[in-house]
Structure 1
Amino acid sequence: MRQDPVNSELRVVSREQLYELVWSTPVTRAAARLKVSDSYAARICTALDVPRPPRGWWTRTKAGQTPARPPLPPPRPGRPLSWSKDAWGGSLKTYYERRRVWQAPAGDIHPLAVLATEIFRVAKTEPTASLLVTRANNAIDVAASAETLRRALAFANALFLALEERGHSVTVAARRRFTRPRIEIWDEPPVHCSEKAAPDLAPRWPTVATLHGMPAGLAIVETCRETQMRYLGGGKFEPVPPRSRKGVRPVVGITWNEWRPQPSGQLKLVAYSPIHPPRWRREWRTSKLHENPREVELIIDELEEIAAAQSAATATP
């Protein structure tokens, strides 16, 4: 007995399955199979970049016409290839919000870097250290100011591509039992501020590379240095201007000076053991990590050595 598609639930659907579904039955029946609303079914199509029948298409079909349907376009980097109600949840919003315009990236760009670009486009600024903050699902472990974000994502892209060229996978380890330690972001030990004044900008899920079967957490952060700031009102601060500087704008209302962490423009990569208790940790600092392919290769050489040593230690009875 043939099962009614309305009563047949699709728990996991690929782009190809979704394309065939929405072009073989009206949206109401397609949404019923996905166990979602009509409007959310349309959002899933947008997220997976699957074209939908235009208005009036089913009316013309019932009238005996055979309007052509557009082909399923090839998947674009950074876009999901399937959808599951249990797995995606609210993170699907990243792909269907109208204000976000997706474009196929030019050149060699890692999908995680493409997705991070879209996520950080609407990220908020952390008020204490002026670094961008996002708790979005699938966001890579990057903490940087708006001015330094482009360099941080460029380095992440170069690192991820180089790792995968050597046969190592990189992923945002959602719902896996990995831990991410607190990462110090001070450029130098603070004198006026507490060491804990800089916030711990941990992502929702750690970014993990797998080398020789061993996981390695990866975090790219912009360091901060303590700076004396002047309160301007409305929650805003600016660096205290030199006393000799002329034309300093006056502040209306209550103001004061205080030492606060401010972005330094310097990036560092922190690699760590994401397994509790942590077994190892390494850091690399430079302002031009993304511009030096040789340095990226040397970093991966060291990560491979660490992974091989960890693998050998695990195998030792």
Structure 2
Amino acid sequence: MIKVAERFDVSGSYLARVCTVLNVPRPERGYWSKLAVGQAPKAEPLPDARPGDQISWSKDGELQVAPKPRLPPRRRLDTPVRIPRTKLHGLVLGAKEHFENSRPVDEGAYLRPFKKLLVDVTTSKDCLDKALDLANDLFNAFESVGHRVVIAPPDEHLRGITLDEREVRGKQRNPYYHSGLWSPNRPTVVYIGSVAVGLSVVEMSEDVLMRYVNGKYIRDADYVQPVRFRDYTWTTTRTLPTGRLRLVAYSPYWRVSWSADWQETRQTSLRSLVKSIVPSVEAAAADLVGKLEEADRQIEIERIEREAAEERCRREEDRRRVEQSIQDSKEHLGKVIQQWSNLMSIERFLSGVEQRTHELPDDDRVGMLERLRLARDFLGTQDPLDFFRSWKTPQERYRSKYPGTGSGEANP
């Protein structure tokens, strides 16, 4: 383990945890000593990856692209959905303690547990047992017909859903509205084959008229007016959990938006609907595969169109720069010619001064010749070849990335 860990620049204990996450068997403690004396146990084979298993790891966090979702063979109609009442599903086992270890909330409000890698259940403390019992029945029902329920693995990049917990959903909420409800880091999903369907259990809410009495709010329906004296109270409306549950099944894939829900009433419990929910989710998963394939096709079309548009922009920019290089080269050549012409005019003037200088007395002639030398030094070279060498051709300014297609590009 230590030698392999060195290849990834991690510790042996860190790599051991990675193997545990990926379900990769590794030698037990003392294996190499036993191997030296011929008493080592037989190496365990690498188990087949199941839907929902993390199958890749990267130190920098960049994981492989998950395979495309595919459905399993159709389940036989005579295969019954069973709900073993005594079996506690792994996601529900121990979850109650974590939910009760919640951030401080008002009495009767939704729990906000500190742990973020939990089964996707949103509920108040009074309804916690009921919600976990529903989740347990639902998960066991799915697994009774071969569908695995897990917390989504990190390498599939599945997303959760923004819940609307209202029992009576009226107009759509403001997109910037934040309910403050707890939500897990990763969604809870059931795998129908390798197709993931998100599952979320939420206790619904309703608007309740509350009355402030003696330092706290109580339901106005529970308030009893004192007989002997008068309370100074007031009322307000608050959104509170109802004790009734809703199950939401949804697409955890960002490229497809789909959801369906089942909710209980005052007369009907959701636990009685679990067996009928399973085939409904199976049918939805079959439709989800088609929607994902269509979404992938549209994404590929958009990618091709986007790349074509980017290529057109690059070619247009290349053509513009070629034309600009030609224009700049022409202007530069004109400036070079004009500079040389101006220099020649000055040189003719200086030549005339030099001729007149020879007519001056010796003392004056020496000083004037020195001034002429300084003037010519200021002017610099007068060789037309030096001026012409400073000129840059269009190809020297910019060479087209698309030879033969640049507008106005001269042949080399």
Q: Same fold (TM over 0.5)?
A: yes
SS, match of residue 93 in structure 2:
helix
**1:9 maps to 2:9:** no
Structure 2 residue aligned with 1:202: 183
- Report how far residue 129 of structure 1 moved: 7.0
What per-residue deviation string (whole Å, max 9, x for no partner) do you get for residues 153-200 of structure 1? 001001111111111111112534122221111112479x99958544
Which one has a larger percent strand, Structure 1 or Structure 2? 1
Aligned equivalent of 1:107, options 86, 89, 101: 86
1:244 CA drift (Å): 5.8
Matches of residues 106-185 of structure 1 in structure 2 within 5 Å? 107-124=86-103, 126-127=105-106, 130-173=109-152, 175=154, 176-185=156-165
Could you tell me the percent identity over the aligned residues? Answer: 25
Q: Is the 8 A contact 2:190 2:196 kept in 1?
A: yes
Q: Structure 2: any 5+ residue segments left out of the alignment?
A: 4-9, 34-58, 60-84, 298-412
Deviation string for 1:127-160 (max 9, x for gaps)?
Answer: 4970111241321111111111111000100111
The answer to whether structure 1 residue 306 and structure 2 residue 284 are counterparts is yes
CA contact (8 A) 2:108 2:125 kept: no
* Conservation of the 8 A alpha-carbon contact between 1:212 and 1:307: no
Distance 1:232 1:174 in 2: 48
CA distance in 2, matches of 1:237, 1:222: 21
User: Cα distance 1:263–1:177, how it changes in 2: closer, same or farther (>3 A)?
Assistant: same
Indicate if the aligned counterparts of 2:138 and 2:274 stay in contact, CA closer than 8 A. Answer: yes
Q: Secondary structure at the match of 2:263?
A: strand
8 Å Cα contact 1:135-1:203 kept in structure 2:
no
- Given that 2:263 and 2:270 are in contact with CA atoms closer than 8 Å, whether structure 1 keeps it comes out as no
**Equivalent of 1:271 in 243, 249, 253:** 249
The 1:250/1:124 distance shift into structure 2, 3 A limit, reads farther
Deviations 1:79-107 (A, max 9, x none): xxxxxxx9xxxxxxxxxxxxxxxxxxx93
Alpha-carbon RMSD across the aligned residues, in angstroms, is 4.1
Equivalent pair of 2:165/2:205 in contact (CA under 8 Å):
yes
Return the structure number with greater helix share.
2
**TM-score, structure 2 normalization:** 0.46
| Whole-angstrom CA distance in 2 between matches of 1:263 and 1:132 | 11
Are the aligned partners of 2:211 and 2:220 in contact in 1 as well (CA < 8 Å)? yes
Residue type of the partner of 1:141?
D
Q: Is the 8 A contact 1:171 1:208 kept in 2?
A: yes
Instruction: Quote the Cα distance in structure 2 between the aligned partners of 1:142 and 1:264.
Output: 15
For residues 192 and 257 of structure 2, what CA distance do their matches in structure 1 show? 15
Inter-CA distance 290–256: structure 2 relative to 1 (3 Å threshold): same
CA contact (8 A) 1:135 1:204 kept: no
Aligned counterparts of 2:227 and 2:146: Cα–Cα separation in 1: 58
Mark the CA change 1:17 to 1:118 in structure 2 (over 3 Å): closer, same or farther.
farther
In 2: Cα distance, 1:248 partner to 1:241 partner: 20
Q: Distance in 2 between matches of 1:297 and 1:284?
A: 12
Q: Which residue of 2 aligns with 1:212?
A: 193
Distance across 2 between alignment mates of 1:265 and 1:168: 29
| Helix, strand or coil at the partner of 2:91 | helix
